[in-house]
Structure formats: structure tokens, C-alpha cells
């Protein structure tokens, strides 16, 4: 599959709508067409045309009679809410030494693309962005403007503080009495107890929960040599180590941590997908969508 957006190109562009559309439409053109919920299933009503609506949905006969643009809406066979949850803690500001962007930028572009795909297939995309200082909620909804609401919200929160330990943050997801796909985007490094508590809260018989763990090459390969000064982005604590001497011990600890995380997710029946932010964005989406297709088969 062609790589639509590589990290260095993305670092230069930084245009979220452009990137999301490019990656998502590249995928849509590369997969087998399937019946799209919400379009052409059973006619329900007309509504006024909005910028971004597909021309094929315009009722041209009605336009000829009224000289106004209307699109045909259809009843969905079933409504699926797609909640995209982003960990906005300070640790998400991490980037690798050679990387073009940090985890938080990657998470926001990934969220914008997933929301675009959900909206295009007739699902109801929504957004929940969380840290101890801010909470940004966009309830799931249909319509072309919903994606732009999500884009606006993605720009409204910075990576700061910690992931909150507060049961009230579950209320937006719990209030929506619809079957939901919940996609949680985080590095799952800091505040693991709070994140797992959140995931236990959204894991119900109605919901399908997926965790996208963002890592970078520095974390997985530990390429450091000589004296290296590491800083905890959330606590500010610093430690000076010899990169060569610490590498084996670090990689062993990382492997053990990842094994515990996979076990915890398996116990919750949550799919865990590891995403390398130093790889093209569409590589993460390819793995994600392949998993979804296999689960639906």
C-alpha cells in the first residue's frame, strides 16, 4: 500500500484536515466498496445541503423544481457511536530524537482521520480528551459538520498534567445508550491505574474497546550511548545514566511492562494495538482497519 503521509512531510504540513482527508480517502479508495450505513438504505428525509456533502447525495430533481440544494438522508440499520478518547497528559508531549512530531500531534491527526472515516461510513463519531486540567467532550452525532466540531476540539486541549482519576469523566460515554466503538489513544506509560480504571468503566456488553498505544523508536530501541539525562515529563524528575550500560536493563523492563499491559487488556477483552509514531500514519490505520475487518468477518 502506498504511504500517503510520511512523518517528515507531515511535520512540514501540520494541516489536520488536509492530512486526515488524504490518509482516509487513500484508504477508502484502496479497499473494496461496501454498503455504507446511512446512505441509500431507506429514504427518511431531506435536509439542506451543507459544505462537504457528497454531490451524489444531492436530489437534482428537487433542485430543478425548487432551485435549492437538498440531500437525501436515510435511516440507518443500526447506529454505532465511535468514541475517540485521547490521553492528554504531559507524557504525550514526548517525541523521539529523530522523530518529526510528538505523540500528542500524532494522536490528534490519528483521531481526526478515524473520525472522518466513521462519519463517512455513517457512524456517529465523538471525542473525549482528558487530563487533570481540562476535559473536552464532543458527543457523538451525525452530519457533515460533526467532523469540523471534532477538529475544533482537537485544537482546544494541550498535553499537560496527568490522566485524571475521576469517575465523572466516564459520564459522557455512559450516557449515550448506543452500541459504541471506543478507541483509547495513549502511551499507557503514566497513570496506568487511572487509564485501566477508565477502560474498565467503558468496557460493557454494548461496547467494543480498542487501545492504541503510541510509542516511539527511542522507547522501543533505546539507541542512546554515553551519558544521557532523562526527564519525566509529568513529574519533572531527572536522572543521569550511561546509555550503553542501561540499555539491556531498560529493554528487559520494557518487555516485562508490555507483557503486563497486554495481560491487563486481555482480561478486559480490549484489543491492544502498538503504534510507532516514527512510522507513517497510514501504517497505523492499516493495522487498525485490518483488525476491524477480521473481527467483522
- Are 47 and 152 within one domain? no
Q: What is the CATH number of the domain that holds 103?
A: 3.40.50.410
What pairing do the DSSP bridges indicate for beta strands 207-215 and 180-186? parallel
Higher pLDDT residue, 117 or 230? 117
Q: What is the pTM of this model?
A: 0.75
Sequence-separated (6 or more) residues with CB below 8 Å from residue 48: 68, 69, 70, 71
**Phi, psi angles (nearest 5°) of residue 15:** -105, 100
Burial 254-279 (b: 16+ CB within 10 A, else e): eeeebeebeebbeebebbbebbbbbe
Range of the domain at 151: 7-33+77-296
- Are 48 and 179 within one domain? no
- Are 238 and 156 within one domain? yes
Beta bridge partners of 229: 240
Higher pLDDT residue, 123 or 75? 123
Q: Write out pLDDT tens, residues 22-73.
A: 655 655 554 444 434 333 333 445 667 666 566 666 777 666 667 777 766 5
Quick one: pLDDT at residue 43? 40
Sequence-separated (6 or more) residues with CB below 8 Å from residue 65: none
- What's the order of all strands across the beta sheet hosting 271-276? 135-138, 124-130, 81-87, 180-186, 207-215, 271-276
- Are 66 and 164 within one domain? no
Conformation bin of residue 122: beta by default, left when phi > 0, alpha when psi is -120 to 50: left
Q: Which pLDDT band, with edges at 50, 70 and 90, does 128 fall under?
A: very high
How many CA within 13 A on the CB side of residue 224? Answer: 21
- Are 128 and 234 within one domain? yes
Which of the listed residues 58, 74, 90 is the one where a domain comes to its end? Answer: 74
Q: Looking at the 3D structure of the chain, how many domains does it have?
A: 2
- Are 64 and 83 within one domain? no
Residue 165 resides in a domain:
yes
Nearest by Cα to 135 from 156, 120, 121, 111: 156
Q: Write out pLDDT tens, residues 190-217.
A: 667 888 888 888 887 778 888 999 999 8
Residue 140 resides in a domain:
yes
Q: Please state, in angstroms and rounded to a whole number, the distance separating the CA atoms of residues 125 and 155.
A: 17
- Are 119 and 61 within one domain? no
- Are 148 and 229 within one domain? yes
Higher pLDDT residue, 265 or 65? 265
Residue 38 resides in a domain:
no
Amino acid at each position: 500500500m502506498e504511504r500517503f503521509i510520511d512523518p517528515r512531510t507531515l511535520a512540514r504540513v501540520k494541516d489536520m484536515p488536509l492530512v486526515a482527508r488524504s490518509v482516509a480517502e487513500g484508504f477508502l479508495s484502496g479497499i473494496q466498496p461496501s454498503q455504507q450505513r446511512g446512505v441509500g438504505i431507506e429514504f427518511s428525509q431531506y435536509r439542506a445541503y451543507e459544505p462537504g456533502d457528497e454531490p451524489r447525495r444531492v436530489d437534482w430533481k428537487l433542485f430543478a423544481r425548487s432551485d435549492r440544494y437538498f440531500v437525501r438522508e436515510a435511516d440507518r440499520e443500526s447506529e454505532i457511536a465511535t468514541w475517540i478518547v485521547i490521553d492528554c497528559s504531559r507524557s504525550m508531549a514526548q517525541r523521539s530524537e529523530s522523530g518529526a512530531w510528538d505523540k500528542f500531534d500524532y494522536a490528534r491527526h490519528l483521531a481526526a482521520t478515524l473520525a472522518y472515516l466513521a462519519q463517512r461510513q455513517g457512524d456517529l463519531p465523538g471525542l473525549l480528551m482528558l487530563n487533570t486540567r481540562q476535559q473536552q467532550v464532543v458527543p457523538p452525532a451525525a452530519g457533515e459538520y460533526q467532523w469540523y466540531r471534532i477538529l475544533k476540539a482537537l485544537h482546544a486541549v494541550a498535553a499537560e498534567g496527568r490522566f485524571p482519576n475521576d469517575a465523572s469523566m466516564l459520564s459522557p460515554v455512559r450516557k449515550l445508550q448506543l452500541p459504541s466503538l471506543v478507541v483509547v489513544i495513549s502511551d499507557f506509560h503514566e497513570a496506568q491505574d487511572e487509564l485501566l480504571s477508565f477502560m474498565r468503566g467503558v468496557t460493557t456488553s454494548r461496547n467494543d474497546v480498542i487501545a492504541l498505544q503510541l510509542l516511539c523508536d527511542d522507547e522501543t530501541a533505546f539507541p542512546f550511548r554515553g551519558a544521557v539525562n532523562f526527564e519525566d515529563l509529568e513529574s519533572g524528575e531527572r536522572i543521569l545514566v550511561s546509555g550503553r550500560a542501561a540499555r539491556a536493563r531498560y529493554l528487559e523492563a520494557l518487555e516485562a511492562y508490555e507483557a503486563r499491559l497486554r495481560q491487563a487488556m486481555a482480561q478486559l477483552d480490549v484489543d491492544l494495538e502498538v503504534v510507532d509514531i516514527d512510522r507513517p500514519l497510514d501504517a497505523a490505520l492499516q493495522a487498525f482497519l485490518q483488525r476491524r475487518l477480521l473481527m467483522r468477518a
